[in-house]
């Protein structure tokens, strides 16, 4: 609650005169909600989440005692303090009310000063408790972030050290077999480091609301089998078995974000493999959970025979800066960000994610998501199409331009190339309405991408102000990224370019 916001009170009484009287006494200091019976009170408490409830006992239908029991049984309202307001004044009545969880008891007829003091006392307790809880949450979050940064520092140094040392060994050896072996390890460590950086940047995008879904028509069952085939190959070194069980009633063509769905499934399968020993079994199951008109809710389970997770450890499993156990990352690797990212994506897809597990008994991660049904006749099976759209690709390295054009060949996106920022500005200013998006390399001769962006934004045309400009760079440190945005860039994508991320980003701005 903000410092200038009023605390709120829900007053429940079937007598209109009592409601008006209490509102007159308390309305200047507190925000007041009113209800005339218990059913209405329960609904309003759930909806408005007041800081305090003044609850009459004698009510039509459900009485105040029953209403208090219902409020205390609900997760959403159980912590809201209740003061009974009643003409019943026996010790037994008061004990019954306090026994149900009420914090105080105000007798009728009302004494205005008594009402004010008792309400103020409860509000003071409520606000002080809230401050303590908020402080504890902030301190816990700060500790978690500090531990996360420490762990990330260690985790990023590990592949970086491998890259440096293996590169030096590759340069110093004359044996081609050894050199190839060193370079394979360099490549593996590079991918590990890049994945960590991508995860950190993705969390930043999630928190800033920059993650969007790009839905297209896809064959879900085929995609699931492809993912499992690829992951099964990776599991062979551990002699692990990956089994699949895909509900045959899943329609062939669905509308969903393939890139994001794949990201979640691969993360869950990778975790299952990581925490399952040799000869372990991992199972992916996909099924239809619910159908509503042209929309399906699907559920995917990833079960393993691994180390399992205790009930206590599960409480922090899907949090961004916390991990089940700091020793987990040291033993198994990883920064502990994948599940938080997966949870965010699943919620964007209209679903939920959870885990069933016990320590030593394996784990089953499950998530749901929604997808629209498309008839086979409506889908052509073609890749995402940007027909009629034109992109300006600004990149000084010819081979990099060729790679991007090859990546996007099947999307029917028309690409115009510029070899440096100066050429890009000339192309844009001569025909600004021609371009729908600009992909801008940062480090270029003559004029870099930041200066070129400034000049395009300063062009004075609606197109110059509105066109999405995407930074392409290997330098994705936070301070550098901020400078890109300050120059007028809309978004950024890291190098080396990932096809799925590139496709998703184009879809974000052109669809």
Alpha helices per DSSP H over 275-325: none
Q: What local confidence, expressed as pLDDT, does residue 327 receive?
A: 47
pLDDT surpassing 50 at residue 411: yes
Residue 176 is encoded by which pair of tokens? 């081609």
C-alpha distances in Å from residue 50, one per residue of 9, 193, 373: 5, 48, 42
Give 9's pLDDT tier (boundaries 50, 70, 90).
Answer: very high
What pLDDT does 381 receive? 42
At 333, the pLDDT band (50, 70, 90 cuts) reads very low
The structure tokens listed for 396 are 């000084």
Q: H helices within 173-296, ranges in order? A: 176-207, 220-235, 258-274
pLDDT of res. 35 = 92
Determine phi and psi for 506, rounding to 5 degrees.
-65, -45
% of residues, the chain, pLDDT over 70: 88
Element housing 461 (H / E): none
pLDDT in tens, 85-142: 988 878 888 888 889 989 998 988 899 999 999 999 988 888 888 788 778 777 776 7
Burial readout 11-50 (b: 16 or more C-beta within 10 A, e: otherwise): bbbeeeebbebbbebbeeebebbbbbbbebbbebbeeeeb
**CA distances in angstroms from 56 to 11, 46, 80, 449, listed in the order given:** 8, 18, 16, 68
Q: What is the mean pLDDT of the chain?
A: 84
d(CA 353, CA 355): 7
pLDDT tier, 191 (very low <50, low <70, confident <90, very high otherwise)? confident
Residues 213-233 pLDDT 10s: 778 888 888 889 888 888 888
Count CB neighbours of 398 within 10 A: 10
- Strands 390-394 and 414-418 come out as parallel
Paired with 242 in beta bridges are: 282
Residue 320 CB: number of other CB atoms within 10 A? 18
DSSP string, 88-137: ---HHHHHHHHHTT--EEEESSP-HHHHHHHHHHHHHHHHHHHHHHHHHH
What does the alpha-carbon distance between residue 84 and residue 293 come to, in Å, rounded to a whole number? Answer: 47
What Å distances lie between residue 280 and 238, 305, 344, CA to CA?
A: 8, 6, 29
The per-residue b/e assignment along 65-91, b for 16 or more CB within 10 angstroms, e otherwise, is: bebbebbeeeeebeebbbbbbbebeee
Round to whole Å and give the CA distance between 453 and 487.
6
Q: What is the pLDDT of residue 261?
A: 92
205-215 pLDDT, tens digit per residue, is: 776 666 777 78
**pLDDT surpassing 50 at residue 475:** yes
pTM for the model stands at 0.44
Chain segment 85-94, per-residue pLDDT in tens: 988 878 888 8
Model confidence at 332: pLDDT above 50? no
In whole angstroms, give the CA distance from residue 271 to residue 190: 19
Q: Which two tokens stand for residue 273?
A: 């493999």
Buried b (16+ CB within 10 A) or exposed e, 488-499: bbbbbbbeeebe
Residue 77 vs residues 33, 51, 81, 106: alpha-carbon distances, Å: 15, 10, 9, 21
pLDDT at residue 155 in the model: 64
pLDDT at site 148: 63
At residue 115's C-alpha, the angle toward residues 114 and 117, to 5°, is: 65
Distance of CA 294 to the CA centre of its chain: 26
Q: 344 CB contacts (<8 Å, ≥6 apart)?
A: 206, 211
Per-residue confidence band for 429, with pLDDT thresholds at 50, 70 and 90: very high
Average pLDDT value for residue range 71-79 = 91
CA 211 to CA 505: how far, in whole Å?
Answer: 9
Confidence (pLDDT) at 387 = 82
Domains of the chain, each with CATH number or no CATH: 8-110 (3.40.50.2300), 144-207 (1.10.287.130), 219-378 (3.30.565.10), 390-510 (3.40.50.2300)
Highest mean pLDDT among 125-129, 174-178, 332-336, 502-506: 174-178
Helix axis angle, 38-48 to 64-73, nearest 10° = 30
DSSP 497: P
Q: What is the model's pLDDT at position 370?
A: 93
Residue 91 is predicted with a pLDDT of 86
């Amino acid at each position: 609650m903000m410092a200038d916001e009023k605390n709120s009170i829900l007053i429940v009484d079937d007598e209109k005169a009592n409601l008006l009287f209490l509102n007159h006494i308390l309305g200047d200091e507190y925000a007041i909600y009113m209800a005339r019976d218990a059913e209405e009170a329960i609904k309003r408490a759930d909806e408005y989440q007041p800081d305090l409830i003044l609850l009459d006992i004698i009510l039509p239908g459900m009485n105040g005692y029953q209403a208090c029991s219902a409020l205390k049984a609900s997760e959403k309202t159980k912590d809201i303090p209740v003061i009974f307001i009643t003409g019943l004044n026996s010790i037994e009545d008061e004990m019954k009310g306090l026994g149900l969880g009420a914090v105080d008891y105000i007798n009728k007829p009302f004494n205005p000063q008594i009402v004010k003091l008792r309400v103020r006392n409860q509000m003071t307790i409520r606000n002080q408790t809230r401050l303590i809880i908020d402080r504890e949450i902030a301190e816990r979050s700060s500790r978690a972030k500090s531990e996360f940064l420490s762990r990330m520092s260690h985790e990023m140094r590990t592949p970086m050290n491998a890259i440096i040392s293996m590169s030096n060994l590759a340069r110093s050896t004359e044996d081609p077999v050894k050199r190839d072996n060193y370079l394979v390890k360099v490549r593996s460590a590079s991918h590990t480091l890049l994945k960590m950086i991508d995860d950190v940047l993705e969390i930043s995008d999630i928190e800033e609301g920059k993650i969007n879904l790009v839905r297209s028509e896809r064959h879900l069952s085929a995609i699931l089998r492809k993912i499992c085939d690829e992951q099964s190959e990776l599991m062979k070194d551990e002699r692990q078995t990956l089994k699949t069980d895909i509900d045959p009633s899943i329609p062939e063509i669905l509308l969903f974000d393939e890139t994001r769905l794949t990201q979640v499934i691969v993360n869950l399968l990778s975790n299952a493999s990581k925490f399952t020993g040799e000869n372990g079994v991992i199972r992916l199951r996909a099924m239809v959970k619910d159908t509503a008109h042209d929309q399906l809710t699907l559920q995917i389970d990833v079960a393993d025979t691994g180390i399992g997770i205790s009930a206590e450890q599960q409480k922090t499993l899907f949090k961004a800066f916390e991990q089940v156990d700091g020793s987990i990352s040291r033993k198994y690797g990883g920064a502990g960000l994948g599940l938080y990212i997966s949870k965010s994506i699943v919620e964007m897809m209209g679903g939920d994610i959870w885990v069933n597990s016990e320590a030593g008994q394996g784990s089953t991660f499950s998530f749901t998501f929604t997808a629209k049904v498309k008839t086979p006749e409506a889908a052509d099976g073609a890749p995402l199409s940007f027909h009629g759209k034109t992109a300006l690709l600004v990149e000084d390295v010819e081979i990099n331009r060729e790679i991007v054009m090859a990546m996007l060949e099947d999307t029917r996106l028309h690409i115009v190339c510029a070899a440096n920022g100066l050429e890009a500005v000339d192309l844009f200013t001569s025909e600004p309405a021609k371009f729908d998006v600009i992909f801008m390399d940062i480090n270029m001769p003559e004029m870099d991408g930041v200066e070129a962006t400034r000049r395009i934004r300063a062009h004075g045309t609606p197109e110059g102000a509105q066109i999405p400009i995407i930074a392409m760079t290997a330098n994705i440190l936070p301070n550098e990224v901020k400078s890109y945005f300050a120059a007028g860039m809309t978004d950024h994508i890291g190098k080396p370019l990932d096809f799925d991320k590139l496709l998703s980003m184009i879809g974000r701005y052109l669809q």
